[in-house]
Chain A
Amino acid sequence: MRSSGLAALVATVVCGLIALALVAERDDRALAFTTGVVPSIPAAELRSGETVCQSPISVPQGFDRVSVQAGAPGSLGQPLEVSVRSAEGRRLGRGRVPGGYFGPSAQATTVGEIAAGQKISVCVRDAGARKVALYGNAGSAALPSAAVQRGRALDTDITLVFRNREPHSMLSLVPEIFERASLFRPGWVGPWLFWALSAAALLGVPLLLARALTDSRDEP
């Protein structure tokens, strides 16, 4: 009798974990990181030829695509030139967003491979003939990064999303997920702890539940 309950428990857990692994394997993710700014207001308005730069931006993960939230009030979106520079001002990559999009909407361009572990600035230039707005939020949204236009800091931050052309499955991202989840935590927390806790949860908890079920002998 008790073994039938145990069999049901084991079957449910095994099927559930297989289902999770399949879902995680098929869930492709291309996000490298973001500036973490909600695109809720026009953060910078660029006239033809004007440039706005957001810096410094820490790069925790390599990327090759940059996405901005752009729109041109009353007209189709203008072409944009996006350039990525090092902290010293050396150009690391650049790309171009063609005009004609409806906005505000996310517009992405390939900028070339940018390596992790450095601080960069991202500059966006209006390469069209009309005005274009880049969306973002208040200046405190991405501390200590700031948006600079015409040589002065704006009171806003620009929404920037950094991606990779080659997506990775959720399953393959588990090591990165544990790395990311270890920051802004107590000093004793590291990726190793997430590995240990995950193993304990995936193996230890079902074993404990099985033990509890086996020991749960009803009084007659």
Chain B
Amino acid sequence: MLGVLWALLVPPGQAPDEPAHIGYAQVLAEDFRLPDEATGRTFSREQETAQAFANVDQTAQVLATRPEWSELAYEDWRRAQAKLPDNARGEGGHADTFRGANPARANPPLYYLWESVAYHAASSGDFFDRLYAMRIWSVVLLLVATTATWLLIGELAGPRRSLQLAGAALVGMQPMAVFVSSSVNPDAALIACFALAFWLGARVLRRGLTLRDGVALCGVTALAVLTKGTGYALVPGVALVVGLSAWRARAGRRPTALVAGASALALAVPVGVWLVLARSLDRAAVNEVPGTGGGGGAAAAGGGSPPGVNLIDYLWQFYLPKLPFQGNVPAIDRLPAFDVWIKTGWAAFGWLEVRFPDPVYGVLGAVTVLFLAGAVALLVRRRRSEDLAPVAFFVVTALALLAGLHWIEFKSISTEGVVFNQGRYLLPLLPLLGAAAAASLALLPTRWRMHATGFLIGAAFVLQVFSLALIAQRFYA
């Protein structure tokens, strides 16, 4: 219900990179091809026309401007659209001299294939019929993430429904997650894939490796990889889960090697097919890392940092105040860890320009730290050996994602002098925050726990409503 309201209230194109994702989805749905760098139109004339009349470009990132809300202008658009030729839908996906190639072109196609279902379902309608059908269809992925978080907490804490409800509600009503999932954006699918992987990984570690669970876990990891480059962050953790489970079961009767091998194939085959396909199409298989000269994950020779900028300085200054003897890292603001991970990870809408007053983020940052500290405190208090493996899985996955994002940003600053990271890139870890919230509640005495659960769920809902009001104020008042 909230997701549909978000999907309809946010103006077209007023979500991060949404026009690029719409363009990708349209090319795939209309012409069954991927965006490329050949000379031609970046976006279809239909999309260009709709965006121009709805004032998408001028509104993006600029608080002073508003989307078009004139009925007369809407009628103008309808007339302009009626004059477009029949081929005005599927002609985008190339590179024009003004916009260049579609910036989303390096994404693997899985999320856009998902969106093409809604696109085709609404294909008899106009551009906005199809756009909003895709948005609403994307909200389904948030439901998947919310359900998977509920299952994850059940796997970790046992059937403690109030804790499961609290953690799942946090995921299902986290403002940035709902905003991203109710726009056309592959991050929606990534959050769902990570949530499923966390649940399945915890299940395998708790119950042992079965063919069904192993294939499901590795299959979901493959889906993440085929959604976005950052999906690879799941691979080390999932390898740990499968390897550890196989090692534990080595003395048992099960054909462990066979199960582990079949699980690995569920990851390797789809990813391998995509890699081969991408190579045959002469395109990057993952998003390009700046300064590497291509779509690979490793730095190209000679693509190092300019004098005075090194990785340690960058990482230190991302999380801590700069020390006097450290070199200056260009483009890094004061404490990006807070400004990026907390502010734009919790609530930064539109093209990140729509934000709450600063004190709100102080509270949200404190809540985040409180939940993480609560999870650590619970682990220390329980001191159960069976907790170690799931925690190792979560930590390895979180570190892999962070390492990847920081590496990309470091290369981006080194070569282009621009920052890369946004808080939404950490949203795949949101199910872990939901689990941490549940762990924090579990620490409380029984008589306080239900109070706190009710308060947490209520507060998440209130934050949702304030976020929607913020959107209405920014774009329509």
A contacts, CB < 8 Å to B: 1-2, 4-13, 15-17, 19-20, 23-24, 27, 29, 31, 33-34, 36-39, 58-60, 117-119, 137, 140-144, 161, 170, 173-174, 176-177, 179-181, 183-187, 189, 193-194, 197-198, 200-202, 204-206, 209, 212-213, 215-219
Contact = CB atoms under 8 A, between A and B. Distances in A.
A38 B453 contact: no
The 7 closest A-B CB pairs, nearest first, are A12-B458, A16-B462, A8-B454, A5-B450, A58-B72, A58-B70, A216-B161
Given A8-B451, A36-B67, A39-B64, A202 B465 contact: yes
A138 to B, nearest CB: 9
B8 A181 contact: yes
B454 A4 contact: yes
B133 A216 contact: no
Nearest to B158: A219
Query: Which among B69, B159, B164 has the greatest number of chain A C-beta atoms within 10 A?
Result: B69
A201 to B, nearest CB: 6
A201 B69 contact: no
A205 B8 contact: no
A42 to B, nearest CB: 17
Contacts of A20: 462, 465-466, 469
Contacts of B158: 219
B59 A16 contact: no
B31 interface: no
B458 A184 contact: no
Query: Which among A10, A11, A181, A194 has the greatest number of chain B C-beta atoms within 10 A?
Result: A181
A177 B472 contact: yes
Contacts of B68: 36, 183-184
B447 A1 contact: yes
Given A58-B72, A60-B72, A36 B65 contact: yes
A78 B110 CA distance: 57
Given A9-B457, A197-B5, A213-B453, A185 B128 contact: yes
Nearest to B80: A144
A180 B132 contact: no
Given A12-B458, A140-B52, A184-B50, A38 B2 contact: no
17 contacts: A4-B454, A15-B462, A16-B461, A29-B477, A34-B65, A38-B65, A58-B72, A173-B477, A176-B477, A183-B68, A184-B53, A184-B74, A186-B125, A187-B129, A200-B1, A215-B161, A216-B453
B8 to A, nearest CB: 6
A31 B66 CA distance: 10
B77 interface: yes
Given A13-B461, A181-B69, 14 more contacts: A6-B454, A8-B450, A8-B452, A8-B455, A12-B455, A36-B68, A58-B70, A60-B70, A60-B71, A142-B55, A201-B2, A201-B465, A215-B161, A216-B164
Nearest to B455: A8
B162 A5 contact: yes
Interface of B: 1-2, 4-5, 8-9, 11-12, 50, 52-55, 57-59, 62, 64-74, 76-77, 80, 122, 125-126, 128-129, 132-133, 158-165, 169, 446-447, 450-455, 457-459, 461-462, 464-466, 468-469, 472-473, 475-477
Majority SS at the chain B contact face:
helix
Contacts of B458: 8-13, 16, 206, 209
Contacts of B126: 186-187
B1 A1 contact: no
Contacts of A170: 469, 472-473, 477
Given A9-B454, A36-B66, A181-B476, A186 B129 contact: yes
A158 to B, nearest CB: 13
Contacts of B469: 20, 23-24, 170
Contacts of B58: 36-38, 137, 141-142
Contacts of B466: 16, 20
Contact of A144 (B8, B50, B64, B76): B76
Contacts of A39: 64
A181 B1 contact: no
Nearest to B157: A218
Nearest to B451: A8
A179 to B, nearest CB: 8
A191 to B, nearest CB: 11
B162 A180 contact: no
B454 A33 contact: no
Given A13-B458, A20-B469, A186 B133 contact: yes
